[in-house]
Amino acid sequence: MTTVTGPATAADEPAAPAPPPPARRAGGRARAALGFAAGAALLFGAAPLVLSDFRLALLAKYLCVAMVAVGIGIAWGRGGMLTLGQGVFFGLGGYAMAMHLKLADAGPGALPDFMQLYGQLDELPWWWRPFASPWFALPATVLLPMVVAFGLGSLVFRRRVRGAYFAILSQALAAAMVILLVGQQGTTGGTNGLTDIQGFFGYDLDDPVNQRTVYFLIAAALLGLLALARQLIHSRYGELLVAVRDGEERVRFLGYDPATVKVVAYVVAAGMAGLAGALFVPAVGIISPALIGIVPSIEFVIGVAVGGRATLLGPVLGAVAVAWARTALSERFPGTWTYLQGLLFVLVVAFLPGGLASLWALRRTRRATPDRPPWWRRVPPARGGRTRTEVPAA
């Protein structure tokens, strides 16, 4: 299903067990396909027509964040793993792509500009060399994060580290990666990161037409990831993942290994974040430690929480809404926008614990039971709709 979204996503197929869906879901499938088509019409038809080049470039950036959010939706919303360190995988993907593009800009045999300035190197460091080849760099943007996530996930989940401990561990990883990158200024660009990326596989990124193509590429990748995520959620594996979230011990006694189930979700989320990072680079033209540290990692999660973590579309809508609100508020109120943004988060958490996606469910329940008391007099039901979610202690 995702093979048509271009070479960038072709490598994104994890070994997801996807048994043929039961026939009773056929109606749901058609509805999903219709929604998918509507989303494509919006992203490919309406958005480029309505938005200026500048706004479209911003939307491309938001959609990259949304791709990370799809992954967090799977790992956290369905799997109960509060991944506070997705910036690491976003960064691995982004740096892999940026390294290739910097080398391509510099031309064969030449060093990227920042290395000549800060590195005083005579030749390319060995770990940069493979990235000169697109055949290595492109798969690496997705596979590298997945490999790291697999290694880490295997260690952590086999030892039954979970909840807040896992959240803290993943966050520490983000902090460690930033320190590593900043310390190696000569070979990583330090705090500046990799900037001033001119071309994207031979196409000039300054050209608005090419920027638009990059946007289309990102929109297509997002749709592809959504399709993949839906497939995963509705598969037997998806049911197992929710079961592990809601009762890990019970699943273990049923004969499954919860660690494996969790590792798969974590690896998929990492791959999605890596792809998002890789596409972020041509869209925005920069990757730097400031984009992958603790704060941006938490911001990824905030978007998902605002949108509704346990649903398919919630994380995407939340991520785009939060990023858009950030831009809109900061343009209108440059001095006070941070307070307004904070207020928004407080309101969502206080009154819509299931996220924006729960608005839809709320409307449906109200229609079904007209004599229900209004929300301000109601005792909140179990979080996130009908499923119980594991919220690690903060």
Binding positions for another protein, rule: CB under 8 A: 1, 4-6, 23, 26-27, 29-30, 32-34, 36-37, 40, 44, 52-54, 57-58, 61, 105, 116-118, 120, 179, 182-183, 185, 190-193, 195-199, 202-204, 206-210, 212-213, 216-217, 219-220, 223, 227, 284-286, 288, 290-291, 327, 330-331, 334-335, 337-338
- As measured in angstroms, the least distance from the Cβ of 341 to another protein is 10
Cβ 275 to another protein shortest distance, Å: 16
Find how far residue 307's CA is from the centre of its chain. Answer: 13
**Residue written as tokens 């799977």?**
74
Nearer to another protein, 167 or 219 (CB): 219
Q: Smallest distance from the beta carbon of 115 to another protein, in angstroms?
A: 12
Query: With respect to another protein, which residue has the nearer C-beta, 161 or 328?
Result: 328
The answer to whether 319 and 68 are in contact (CB under 8 A) is yes
Closer residue to another protein, CB minimum distance, 26 or 254: 26
255 φψ region: left (φ > 0), alpha (ψ -120 to 50), beta (else): left
For the chain, list the strands marked E by DSSP.
Answer: 199-200, 203-204
Q: How far is the CB of 92 from another protein (least distance, A)?
A: 17
Whichever of 85 and 119 has its CB closer to another protein, that residue is 119
Instruction: Give the C-alpha separation, 192 to 211, whole Å.
Output: 23
Q: Are 17 and 241 in contact (CB under 8 A)?
A: no
Cα-based distances in Å from 59 to 221, 319, 324: 14, 11, 8
Please state, in angstroms and as integers, the Cα–Cα distance from residue 174 to each residue in 75, 87, 169, 240, following that order: 17, 6, 9, 28
- CA-to-CA distance for 174 and 296, rounded, in angstroms? 10
For the CB of residue 156, give the shortest distance to another protein in the complex, in Å: 25
Whose Cβ is closer to another protein: residue 288's or residue 358's? 288
Minimum distance from CB of 209 to another protein (Å)? Answer: 3
| Residue number, 36 or 165, with CB nearest to another protein | 36
In terms of Cα–Cα distance, which of 96, 102, 166 is closest to 135?
Answer: 96
